[in-house]
Amino acid sequence: MSESFVLVETRGRVGLLTLNRPKALNALNDQLMDELGAALLAFESNADIGCVVITGSEKAFAAGADIGAMKDWSYMDVYNSEYITRNWETLKRIKKPVIAAVAGYALGGGCELAMMCDIIIAADTAKFGQPEIKLGVIPGAGGTQRLPRAVGKAKAMDLALTARMMGAEEAERAGLVSRVVAADKLMEEALDAATVIASMSLPSVMMAKECVNRAFEGSLNEGLLFERRVFHSLFATEDQKEGMAAFTEKRKPDFKHR
């Protein structure tokens, strides 16, 4: 059997999911996303679980979608939901609260995954970013929609267009993360918060989450659909092939359309 990319544990009424693909800095490929989706759905239907925590390693929450897997895909490959799209929406369907406990890199799809969670608790080592522009694409799992809602247009534009990373303190000031803690206290803090939430009445917790999301989500779905189509279309460009090939070959991209 192949190695498991998501470790599943329970701590009292808290479900703990650890992204476990360390050699690729938890790059999010189909197997990992399938395992994450299945584990989330299992916790959702488990009456003994009241809150979920998703975490990664000390070095990376997740460094994005798997560039090596994506690099040769065509427009129709990515438009086809059997590829990367299939389990990226599962987190949105979970009614129980989900906390992202982020240390190290949360980049591209990794930052988007954290933003799909309800609360982000960051270690002081956390680095958030949407560096897809360097690969000749754009964020494809909500980055252009959720990031401006969380941090405002100015900072979202800065991150999406320059690809720079934002540290934990800046992310807290900007409103992306709810708490910053010392790296060695991250899991204690996240599990404590999750335990508090899991001790509340589950219906009111789920409904509070739903209501806060309603305030946040305005016309998000239209924005997400639009973003997804633009993301797909970039797989028709030479620059996406060049950007992703350059990453895997560890060289600077030579974009045709500057």
147 in Cβ contact with 109 (< 8 Å): no
- Give dist(CA 166, CA 155) in Å, integer: 9
Instruction: HSE, CB side, 13 Å, CA atoms: give it for residue 201.
Output: 4
Task: Give every CB contact of residue 125 below 8 A, 6+ residues apart in sequence.
Answer: 58, 103, 104, 168, 183
**CB closer to ligand CO8 out of 25 and 190:** 25
- Residue 55 CB, nearest distance to ligand CO8 (Å)? 17
- Give dist(CA 91, CA 77) in Å, integer: 22
Binding mask 88-117 toward ligand CO8 (x if CB under 6 A, else -) reads x----------------x-xxx--------
Write out the catalytic residue numbers. 65, 109, 112, 132
Interface with ligand CO8 (CB under 6 A), residue from 35, 140, 193, 240: 140
Of 130-138, 152-160, 168-176, 191-199: span binding ligand CO8 (CB under 6 A): 130-138
**Secondary element (H or E) of residue 52:** strand 51-55
* Joined tokens for residue 187: 């899991």
Edge-to-edge strand list for the sheet holding 14-19: 6-11, 14-19, 51-55, 98-102, 119-123, 179-181
Interface with ligand CO8 (CB under 6 A), residue from 4, 85, 125, 195: 85
Residue nearest to ligand CO8 (CB): 108
Q: Is 25 in the site for ligand CO8 (CB under 6 A)?
A: yes
Interface with ligand CO8 (CB under 6 A), residue from 63, 123, 193, 245: 63
Q: Is 189 in the site for ligand CO8 (CB under 6 A)?
A: no
Binding footprint of ligand CO8 on the chain (CB under 6 A): 24-25, 27, 63-68, 84-85, 88, 105, 107-109, 131-132, 135, 140-141
